[in-house]
C-alpha cells in the first residue's frame, strides 16, 4: 500500500536496451511531488553531462502527480522530461500534453514511466495495470499517429489511451511531438522516443486514484472550484456585453453568447448566455473555434473538447468536408497554436484559405507528429524565402520541386508537400525541423533574423517569445529567460488576460504580491520594482508546481473569478487544498510553493551543470536585441510601447534572482539555497564541479 | 381601495421591470402608460420615489438619459443597463462616444469598431461609418479618435484617457499579436 | 419511408459490437415478441422477473457531450469515495476515442474523438426486467424503495460478475478493489453525474419520456 493517497505508489522503469521492466517506489520522489519534479530529479540523478538527446544514455520520463486522476477539475496533464533536441546545447526541458493519457497511467497504478536505453528494433510498450510488456512495433513503424493509435487500441481494447510518435519522431526530427487522443501533443521530445525505437505507449488502467479526504470534503472543494472557475485561461468576463456581467473584454476566451452556436452539431447547440452560477454551462463558455478562426468557423463546429476531468473545453472539433480534397479526414480538432502555426507557414491567404490552412495543417502535423516550435517553424520558412536564402541553400533541383506557386497563391495544399518533406527529412528544406538555433547556424541567417521583432525570437537558444514583454513587461520577460525552450507558463498570462479592468487587477495584485505596482496597464509600463519580481517568481514557481501536481497551468492559479460577490477574487490556495485533501499531507499554500521552488531550482541547477558555468545571467538568461531596440522613436516606459530597457532588465534579473534565493550576481543557485530546499546532494555535486557561485562550498 | 390600488400599480411596475430585466431588457417608463398599468404622467416621479426608498424594491434602479429607464440589478448589472439605456436613447453619437470613453478609461483598451455592428448595439455598418464621419466635426466628440491595426481593423479610443500610440499598440495587440502568440 | 420501415431502420441501427450483438441476439430469441422499439431491448419481459419501473433514467445527449468525463469521477466520488472511472456507472472513457464498436479501418468516419467526434456515453437503463438482477445468483440486485433504481446489495454481492456479463450495455462492473459489483443507483433521485455535467448533456429523464429520448439518442449516434 502506498504511504500516502493520491500517488499510485509505483514508478515504471523500462530499459529498452536489455528489455527489463521494473517497478520502483514513488516514495523516493515525494519531495518533488510528481510530473516535472520527478522528471527533473531522474535526469539530475541519472543522465550525465555530455549526453545528447538521441544517445542511448538519454532518458525520457512520462510523469503525473498526485492530483492527476482524482477528478479534480483541469488535472489531466502529462509531463514529459528529457534533453531537448532543438536546444543548441541540448539542455534539459519538458513537453506537456493534456488529453486522457496520464489519468489512465495513474489508474493502471503508475505515477511515472522512465524509459531508458534503446530497443534493437521498433517496439511499443503495452501496459495493462501491473502487466507490462514490450511489443514488436515493426508493423507500426512508418505510420502516422492516428493509424498507430487505432492499431494499438485494436490490439489492446477500445478503451486504451495511447501516446505515440509519427514519422517526424521516427526520423529524429528535432521539432517532433508526442501525441495522445489525436490532438493533445507534447512538443519537442518526439525525436527522443524515435531514437529509442519506441513508437508508442498504450495503457489500460482499471484501478482507482484514492484521496485521503472524506468524500464530503472532497466534493465541497470540487464544488468550490466549479464556482470560481472561468473560461479557458481563466478568463472571467465574457467577450461581449451581457446582462449578468459588469465587465466584458473582446479579447476574452469566454466567447459564448446568444446566437452563437456549435453550428455543425447534429442538432443545434447554442452557446448562449452562460451565467457563472450555472455549472451545467461551463463547457459552453469557450467557443474556441470562433476565437481561433473567426466567425467562419461557427458553421463547421461540431463541439468543443479537451482533457479528462476539465469542465473548460478549449479544443474545437470541426467538420470541414473540403479537407477530404487533400486526402485527410474532414474531422479536425485542435486549439490555439495547434491551428495558428500552420497559418504562419503560409502567406497571401484570405479568410477561407486561412481557415483551411490552419485545419489542414493541424491534420497533417498531428499525424506526422511535427512540432512548430510555438509558431517559429513557419516564420523561419517565410524569412528564408523572403531573404532568398532558400535559393542559396537548396540544390536547384530540390528548390524547383517545391510548389512555390501554391505558397505564393496562398493555397493550403502547399503544406501537404512541405510537412511531408520535414517529417521524412527529405532534402535540405527539411532542416526547418531542426529548430531555429540550429537552422540559423546551418543556413547562416543574418543578425536581422534575431533582431527583427516581426520574427518573434526571444532567445539565442532558438525559441520565440511566449507571453514575454507584451505580458506586463519585465514580468513576462523574466519568465521567458528561465527555461530552455519557450516557457510553457501561463500563470501570469491568465491573470493579465482575465478581462478585468487594470484597476481591479492592481487591487488583487496588492493582495498577492504586496503592491499594486506588480501590474502595469498593458503597454504602459513602469520601471522594474520589487512587486514585479514577486509576481514573476510566483508565476515561475506555480508553473513548476502545476506541472508536478499535475494541474493545468492554462487554468490555474485561479487568482481571479467571474463573481462580483467575491469582488472578482479567485482563490490561490486551491492547489494546496487539493494537495492536502488528496495526499493526506497537510500543506499550506506557502509550503507547497516551497516545493515548487525546489523543482524550479533543480531545473536551474541542472542547467548550470549542463552548461558548465554559473554565469546564468550572461550565458543563459539572454534576450535578443529587438526587445530593447524596437520602436526607435520611443523610449521604454512610455505609453504604447513594450520596448524594454537594458539596464532595467538587468536590475529585473537581479531582483528575480534575489526573490528565488539564487546568487544575485550570476543567477545560479547558491549552496545555502540548495541546502534550504533539501537538495544538499545537488549542492555538493555542483561544488565539486566548481559550479557554485561565490566562494561558499 | 385607493391604497390597495396604489400598491397594486407599483407592484405591477416592479413586476414588469423585473421581468424585462430577466429578459435582458431595460424598461422605459413610457411603457407604464400602457395597459394594464396606465400610470398617469404626473404620478411617475412619486412612483420612482417609492422604488428609491422602499426596501422591497431595493433591486430596482433608475437610469436617466433621453428617457428614464428602470432595471432590476438582481437580473442585470449596472454597466449592462447603462449600455442598454444608451442604445434606447437612440443617440448613436452619444452611444459610441460613451462606450469608447468607458473602454479607454476603465480597462483601458481601444474599442473595436466591429463591436458596434454586433449584439447588443447592432448598428448598420453604413450608418456607423456616416455617424463616425459626422462626429469628427463635433466639438463634444473631438476626443474620439480612430486607429487601425496592421490588418486594417478599425479601433476607436478617447484621447482624454489614451495616448494615440498607446491605443495603436492595444489595437495591434488584440488584432495581430495575440493571434501570432496565443 | 413508412413508419414501420423507419422503426425497422432504427432497430437495424442498434449498437452491434461483437459482444453486444451476441447479448442482444439472445434477448431477441428469448423475447418472443421483440418490440420494434428501443425500449423493447431492455424490457425483455417474456423471459424474466420484472420490477416496477424506476422513476426515470439518466441519458446523455450525444450532441452536447464533450467527453470531459467529469461524470465518471463525480459518480465514484459520491458513491465510492475515490476516483475510479472503470467502475463508474456512467461509461464515457471506453467509447471516447473510437466509439462503441472500437477502432476499425474506417475510424475516420466512426464515432469518437478519432472519428466524427460523437461521444457515446453509456448509462444504466434501469430495465423493467433487469438481466443483471435476473443473472445474479445471490439475488443481490433489486429495485430500491425510493425511486426504483436497480441497486446492488453489497452484503449479498459476492463479486462474481454475472451481472456484468448479462447486461447488454456493460454497465454493472465489479470493483477490482472492493470485489463488489457496482451499478447505477440514480443517487437516490438526484444523479450526481447529471447535476454536475458541465454541458448539461446528461439528464435525468422521467420514465414516460425515456423511449423517445433513447430513440433520438440512437439516431444522433448514428449520425442520421
- Which of the four pLDDT bands, split at 50, 70 and 90, describes residue C6? very low
Q: Does residue A212 fall inside a structural domain? A: no
Residues B105 and B173 in one domain: yes
Q: Does residue A572 fall inside a structural domain? A: no
Chain C residue numbers touching A163 (CB-CB < 8 A): none
Q: What is the dihedral of CA B94, B101, A562, B149, to 10 degrees?
A: 110
pLDDT for residue C39 is more than 70: no
pLDDT of residue A694: 81
Q: Does residue A695 fall inside a structural domain? A: no
Chain A residue numbers touching C82 (CB-CB < 8 A): 208-211
Q: Rounded to a whole number, what is the distance in Å from the CA of C33 to chain A's nearest CA?
A: 33
- Does residue B182 sit at the A interface (CB-CB below 8 Å)? yes
Residues A136 and A96 in one domain: yes
Domain region containing B58? 2-84
Q: Residues A345, A415: contact at Cβ < 8 Å?
A: yes
Cell triple for C169: 450495455
- Of A453, A475, A492, the one marking the end of a domain is A453
Do A154 and C102 lie within an 8 Å CB cutoff? yes
Residues B104 and B176 in one domain: yes
- Owner of C-alpha cell 505609453: A639
Q: What does residue A125 show for φ and ψ, rounded to 5 degrees?
A: -105, 125
pLDDT of residue C3: 52
Q: Does residue A567 fall inside a structural domain? A: no
Residues B79 and B111 in one domain: no
Full DSSP string of A13-47: EEETTTTEEEEEEGGGGGGG-SHHHHHHHHHHHHS
How many domains, in total, are found in chain A? 3
Which residues 6+ apart lie within 8 Å of A386 measured at CB?
none
Q: Does residue C55 fall inside a structural domain? A: yes
Q: Does residue C18 fall inside a structural domain? A: no
- Which of the four pLDDT bands, split at 50, 70 and 90, describes residue B124? very high
- Does residue B34 sit at the A interface (CB-CB below 8 Å)? no
Q: Tell me the CA end-to-end span of chain C in Å, nearest whole number.
A: 14
pLDDT of residue C35: 36
Q: Does residue A285 fall inside a structural domain? A: yes
Q: Does residue A376 fall inside a structural domain? A: yes
How many domains, in total, are found in chain C? 1
Chain B residue numbers touching A638 (CB-CB < 8 A): 165
Residues B7 and B61 in one domain: yes
Q: What does residue A396 show for φ and ψ, rounded to 5 degrees?
A: -55, -40
> Best residue in A5, A71, A224 to probe C by mutation, most C CBs within 10 Å?
A71
Q: Residues A76, C69: contact at Cβ < 8 Å?
A: no
- Of B36, B52, B84, the one marking the end of a domain is B84
B71 pairs with which residues across the strands? B61
- Owner of C-alpha cell 421483440: C34
Residues A383 and A526 in one domain: no
pLDDT of residue B2: 47
In chain C, the DSSP E strands lie at: 56-60, 141-143, 150-152, 173-174, 181-182, 202-206
Q: Does residue A564 fall inside a structural domain? A: no
- A429: three-class secondary structure by DSSP: helix
- C-alpha A483: how far from chain center: 12
Residues B170 and B137 in one domain: yes
Between strands C173-174 and A457-459, the pairing is unpaired
CATH number at residue C36: 3.30.70.20
* Each residue's pLDDT tens digit, C152-209: 999 999 999 999 999 999 999 999 999 999 999 999 999 999 999 999 999 999 999 9
- A675: three-class secondary structure by DSSP: helix
In SS3 terms, A194-242 reads as: HHCCEEEEEEECCCCECCCCCHHHHHHHHHHHHHHCCCHHHCCCECCCC
CATH number at residue A87: 3.60.9.10
Q: Does residue A1 fall inside a structural domain? A: no
pLDDT of residue C47: 55
Helices (H) and strands (E) in chain B, counts: 7, 6
> Best residue in B80, B107, B152 to probe A by mutation, most A CBs within 10 Å?
B107
CB atoms within 10 A of CB A348: 11
Residues A472 and A443 in one domain: no
Chain B residue numbers touching A259 (CB-CB < 8 A): 119
Residues A350 and A398 in one domain: yes
Q: Does residue C192 fall inside a structural domain? A: yes
Residues A291 and A146 in one domain: no
CA angle C26, C29, C33 (to 5 degrees): 130
Residues A298 and A408 in one domain: yes
Cell triple for A661: 534565493
Residues B47 and B75 in one domain: yes
CATH number at residue B109: 1.10.10
Q: Residues A506, A512: contact at Cβ < 8 Å?
A: no
Task: Count A/C contacts: CB-CB distance under 8 Å.
Answer: 163
Residues B80 and B95 in one domain: no
Of the candidate ranges A177-186, B134-143, B173-182, the one whose mean pLDDT is the lowest: B173-182
CATH number at residue A418: 1.10.569.10
Which residues 6+ apart lie within 8 Å of B88 measured at CB?
B26, B28, B65, B67, B69
Residues A160 and A27 in one domain: yes
- Of A151, A182, A204, the one marking the end of a domain is A204
Residues A544 and A623 in one domain: yes
CA angle B154, B155, B159 (to 5 degrees): 135
Do A639 and B77 lie within an 8 Å CB cutoff? no
pLDDT for residue C8 is more than 70: no
- A115: part of which helix (H) or strand (E)? strand A112-116
Which of A250, A464, A502 is opposite residue B115, by nearest beta carbon? A250
Q: Residues A312, A494: contact at Cβ < 8 Å?
A: no
Rg over CA atoms, chain C: 17
pLDDT of residue B35: 85
CA A220 – CA A335 distance, rounded (Å):
31
Which of A243, A257, A502 is opposite residue B80, by nearest beta carbon? A243
CA A188 – CA A93 distance, rounded (Å):
9
* Each residue's pLDDT tens digit, B8-37: 799 999 999 999 999 999 999 999 999 888
pLDDT for residue C44 is more than 80: no
- Which of the four pLDDT bands, split at 50, 70 and 90, describes residue C222? confident
- Which of the four pLDDT bands, split at 50, 70 and 90, describes residue C223? low
Which of B75, B177, B180 is opposite residue A243, by nearest beta carbon? B75
Residues B7 and B76 in one domain: yes
Residue in A with minimal Cα distance to C99: A158
Do A251 and B182 lie within an 8 Å CB cutoff? no
Mean pLDDT of chain B: 94
Where does residue B42 rank: exposed (0-12), middle (13-18), buried (19+ CB within 10 A)?
Answer: exposed
- Of B84, B118, B150, the one marking the end of a domain is B84
Residues A389 and A250 in one domain: yes
Residues A37 and A63 in one domain: yes
pLDDT of residue B108: 97
CB atoms within 10 A of CB A203: 30
Q: Rounded to a whole number, what is the distance in Å from the CA of C136 to chain A's nearest CA?
A: 23
Q: Does residue C117 fall inside a structural domain? A: yes
Residues B60 and B35 in one domain: yes
> Best residue in B113, B169, B172 to probe A by mutation, most A CBs within 10 Å?
B169
Do C63 and A304 lie within an 8 Å CB cutoff? no
* Each residue's pLDDT tens digit, C58-106: 999 999 999 999 999 999 999 999 999 999 999 999 999 999 989 998 9
Chain A residue numbers touching B26 (CB-CB < 8 A): none
- Which of the four pLDDT bands, split at 50, 70 and 90, describes residue C26? very low
Instruction: Kindly tell me whether chain B and chain A come into contact, counting contact as 3+ Cβ pairs under 8 Å.
Output: yes
pLDDT for residue C17 is more than 70: no
Say whether the peptide bond before residue A557 is cis (omega within 30 degrees of 0): yes
CATH number at residue A479: 1.10.599
Distances, alpha carbon A567 to alpha carbons A559, A560, A563, B102, C67, in Å: 12, 9, 6, 20, 32
Residue A539 φ/ψ region, left for φ over 0, alpha for ψ in the -120 to 50 degree band, beta for the rest: alpha
How many domains, in total, are found in chain B? 2
Which residues 6+ apart lie within 8 Å of B8 measured at CB?
none
Do C94 and A159 lie within an 8 Å CB cutoff? yes
Domain region containing C180? 23-221
- Averaged over successive runs of 10 residues, the pLDDT of chain A (697 residues) comes to 87 98 97 98 98 98 98 98 98 98 98 98 98 98 98 98 98 98 97 98 98 98 98 98 97 97 96 97 98 97 98 98 97 98 97 98 98 97 98 98 98 98 98 98 97 96 97 98 97 98 98 98 98 98 98 98 98 98 98 98 98 98 98 97 98 98 98 98 97 73
Domain region containing A406? 218-453
Residues B71 and B39 in one domain: yes
Instruction: Kindly tell me whether chain B and chain C come into contact, counting contact as 3+ Cβ pairs under 8 Å.
Output: no
Residues B52 and B116 in one domain: no
- Of B84, B118, B135, the one marking the end of a domain is B84
- Chains with 3+ CB–CB pairs under 8 A to C are A
Amino acid at each position: 500500500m502506498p504511504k500516502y493517497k493520491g500517488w499510485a505508489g509505483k514508478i515504471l522503469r523500462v530499459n529498452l536496451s536489455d528489455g527489463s521492466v521494473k517497478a520502483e517506489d514513488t516514495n523516493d520522489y515525494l519531495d518533488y511531488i510528481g510530473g516535472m519534479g520527478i522528471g527533473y530529479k531522474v535526469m539530475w540523478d541519472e543522465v550525465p553531462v555530455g549526453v545528447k538527446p538521441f544517445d542511448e544514455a538519454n532518458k525520457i520520463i512520462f510523469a503525473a502527480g498526485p492530483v492527476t486522476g482524482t477528478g479534480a477539475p483541469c488535472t489531466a496533464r502529462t509531463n514529459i522530461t528529457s534533453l531537448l533536441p532543438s536546444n543548441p546545447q541540448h539542455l534539459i526541458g519538458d513537453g506537456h500534453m493534456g488529453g486522457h493519457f496520464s489519468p489512465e497511467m495513474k489508474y493502471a497504478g503508475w505515477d511515472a514511466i522512465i524509459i531508458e536505453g534503446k530497443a534493437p528494433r521498433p517496439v511499443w510498450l503495452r501496459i495493462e495495470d501491473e502487466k507490462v510488456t514490450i511489443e514488436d512495433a515493426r508493423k507500426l513503424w512508418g505510420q502516422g499517429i492516428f493509424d498507430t493509435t487505432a492499431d494499438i487500441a485494436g490490439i489492446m481494447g477500445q478503451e486504451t489511451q495511447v501516446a505515440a510518435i509519427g514519422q517526424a519522431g521516427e526520423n529524429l526530427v528535432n521539432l517532433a511531438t508526442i501525441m495522445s487522443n489525436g490532438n493533445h501533443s507534447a512538443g519537442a521530445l518526439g525525436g527522443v522516443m524515435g531514437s529509442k525505437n519506441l513508437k508508442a505507449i498504450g495503457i489500460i488502467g482499471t484501478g482507482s486514484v484514492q484521496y485521503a479526504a472524506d468524500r464530503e470534503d472532497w466534493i465541497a472543494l470540487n464544488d468550490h472550484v466549479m464556482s470560481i472557475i472561468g473560461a479557458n485561461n481563466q478568463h472571467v468576463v465574457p467577450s461581449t456585453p451581457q446582462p449578468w456581467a459588469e465587465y466584458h473584454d473582446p479579447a476574452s476566451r469566454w466567447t459564448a453568447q446568444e446566437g452563437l452556436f456549435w453550428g455543425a452539431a447534429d442538432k443545434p447547440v447554442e452557446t448562449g448566455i452562460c451565467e457563472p452560477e450555472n455549472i451545467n454551462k461551463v463547457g459552453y463558455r469557450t467557443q474556441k473555434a470562433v476565437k481561433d478562426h473567426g466567425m467562419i468557423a461557427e458553421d463547421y463546429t461540431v463541439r468543443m473538447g479537451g482533457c479528462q476531468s476539465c469542465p473548460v473545453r478549449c479544443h474545437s472539433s470541426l467538420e470541414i468536408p473540403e479537407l477530404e480534397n487533400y486526402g485527410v479526414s474532414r474531422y479536425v480538432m485542435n486549439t490555439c497554436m495547434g491551428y495558428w502555426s500552420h497559418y504562419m507557414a503560409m502567406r497571401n491567404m484570405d479568410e477561407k484559405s486561412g481557415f483551411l490552412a490552419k485545419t489542414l495543417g493541424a491534420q497533417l502535423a498531428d499525424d506526422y507528429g511535427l512540432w512548430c516550435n510555438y509558431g517559429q517553424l513557419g516564420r523561419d520558412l517565410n524569412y528564408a524565402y523572403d531573404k532568398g536564402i532558400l535559393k542559396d541553400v537548396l540544390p536547384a533541383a530540390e528548390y524547383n520541386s517545391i510548389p512555390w506557386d501554391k505558397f505564393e497563391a496562398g493555397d493550403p495544399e502547399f503544406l501537404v508537400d512541405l510537412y511531408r518533406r520535414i517529417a521524412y527529412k527529405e532534402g535540405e528544406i527539411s532542416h526547418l525541423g531542426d529548430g531555429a538555433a540550429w537552422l540559423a547556424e546551418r543556413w547562416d541567417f543574418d543578425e536581422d533574423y534575431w533582431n527583427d521583432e516581426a520574427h518573434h525570437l526571444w532567445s539565442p537558444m532558438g525559441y520565440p517569445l511566449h507571453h514575454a514583454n507584451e505580458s506586463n513587461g519585465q514580468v513576462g520577460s523574466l519568465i521567458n529567460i528561465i527555461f530552455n525552450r519557450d516557457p510553457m507558463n501561463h500563470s501570469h498570462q491568465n491573470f493579465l488576460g482575465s478581462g478585468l479592468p487594470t484597476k481591479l487587477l492592481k487591487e488583487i495584485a496588492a493582495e498577492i504580491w504586496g503592491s499594486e505596482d506588480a501590474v502595469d496597464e498593458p503597454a504602459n509600463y513602469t520601471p522594474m520594482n520589487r512587486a514585479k519580481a514577486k509576481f514573476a517568481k510566483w508565476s515561475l514557481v506555480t508553473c513548476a508546481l502545476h506541472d508536478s501536481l499535475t494541474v493545468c497551468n492554462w487554468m490555474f492559479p485561479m487568482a481571479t473569478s467571474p463573481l462580483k460577490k467575491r469582488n472578482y477574487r479567485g482563490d490561490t490556495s486551491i492547489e494546496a487544498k487539493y494537495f492536502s485533501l488528496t495526499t493526506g499531507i497537510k500543506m499550506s499554500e506557502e509550503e507547497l510553493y516551497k516545493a515548487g521552488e525546489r523543482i524550479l531550482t533543480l531545473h536551474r541547477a541542472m542547467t548550470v551543470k549542463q552548461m558548465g558555468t554559473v554565469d546564468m545571467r550572461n550565458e543563459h538568461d539572454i534576450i535578443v536585441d529587438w526587445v530593447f531596440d524596437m520602436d526607435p522613436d520611443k523610449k521604454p516606459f512610455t505609453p504604447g510601447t513594450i520596448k524594454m530597457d537594458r539596464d532595467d532588465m538587468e536590475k529585473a534579473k537581479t531582483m528575480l534572482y534575489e526573490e528565488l534565493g539564487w546568487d544575485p550576481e550570476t543567477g545560479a543557485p547558491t549552496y545555502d539555497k540548495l541546502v534550504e530546499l533539501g537538495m544538499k546532494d545537488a549542492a555538493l555535486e555542483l561544488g565539486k564541479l566548481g559550479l557554485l557561485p561565490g566562494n561558499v562550498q | 381601495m385607493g391604497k390597495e390600488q396604489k400598491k397594486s400599480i407599483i407592484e405591477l411596475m416592479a413586476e414588469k421591470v423585473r421581468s424585462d430585466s430577466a429578459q435582458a431588457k431595460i424598461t422605459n417608463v413610457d411603457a407604464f402608460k400602457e395597459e394594464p398599468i396606465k400610470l398617469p404622467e404626473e404620478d411617475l416621479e412619486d412612483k420612482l420615489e417609492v422604488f428609491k426608498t422602499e426596501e422591497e424594491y431595493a433591486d430596482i434602479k433608475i437610469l436617466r438619459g433621453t428617457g428614464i429607464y428602470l432595471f432590476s440589478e438582481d437580473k442585470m448589472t449596472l454597466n449592462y443597463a447603462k449600455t442598454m439605456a444608451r442604445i434606447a436613447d437612440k443617440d448613436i453619437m452619444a452611444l459610441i462616444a460613451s462606450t469608447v470613453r468607458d473602454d479607454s478609461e476603465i480597462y483601458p483598451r481601444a474599442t473595436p469598431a466591429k463591436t458596434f455592428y454586433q449584439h447588443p448595439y447592432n448598428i448598420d455598418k453604413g450608418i456607423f461609418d456616416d455617424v463616425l464621419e459626422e462626429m469628427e466635426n463635433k466639438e463634444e466628440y473631438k476626443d474620439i479618435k480612430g486607429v487601425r491595426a496592421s490588418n486594417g481593423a478599425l479601433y476607436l479610443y478617447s484621447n482624454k484617457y489614451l495616448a494615440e500610440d498607446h491605443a495603436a499598440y492595444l489595437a495591434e495587440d488584440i488584432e495581430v499579436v495575440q493571434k501570432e502568440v496565443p | 419511408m413508412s413508419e414501420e420501415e423507419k422503426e425497422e431502420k432504427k432497430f437495424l441501427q442498434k449498437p452491434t459490437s461483437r459482444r453486444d450483438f451476441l447479448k442482444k441476439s439472445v434477448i431477441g430469441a428469448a423475447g418472443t415478441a421483440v418490440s420494434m422499439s428501443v425500449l423493447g431491448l431492455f424490457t425483455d419481459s417474456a423471459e424474466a422477473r420484472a420490477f416496477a419501473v424506476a422513476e426515470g433514467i439518466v441519458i446523455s445527449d450525444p450532441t452536447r457531450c464533450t467527453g470531459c468525463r467529469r461524470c465518471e469521477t463525480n459518480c465514484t466520488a459520491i458513491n465510492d469515495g475515490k476516483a475510479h472511472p472503470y467502475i463508474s456507472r456512467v461509461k464515457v472513457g471506453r467509447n471516447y476515442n473510437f466509439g462503441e464498436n472500437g477502432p476499425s479501418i474506417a475510424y475516420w468516419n466512426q464515432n469518437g474523438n478519432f472519428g466524427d467526434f460523437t461521444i457515446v456515453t453509456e448509462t444504466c437503463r434501469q430495465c423493467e426486467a433487469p438481466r443483471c438482477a435476473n443473472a445474479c445468483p445471490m439475488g443481490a440486485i433489486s429495485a430500491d424503495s425510493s425511486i426504483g433504481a436497480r441497486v446492488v446489495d453489497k452484503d449479498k454481492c459476492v463479486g462474481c460478475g454475472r451481472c456484468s456479463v448479462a447486461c447488454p450495455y456493460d454497465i454493472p462492473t465489479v470493483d477490482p478493489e472492493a470485489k463488489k459489483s457496482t451499478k447505477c443507483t440514480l443517487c437516490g433521485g438526484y444523479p450526481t453525474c447529471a447535476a454536475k455535467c458541465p454541458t448539461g448533456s446528461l439528464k435525468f429523464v422521467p420514465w414516460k419520456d425515456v423511449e423517445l429520448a433513447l430513440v433520438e439518442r440512437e439516431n444522433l449516434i448514428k449520425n442520421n
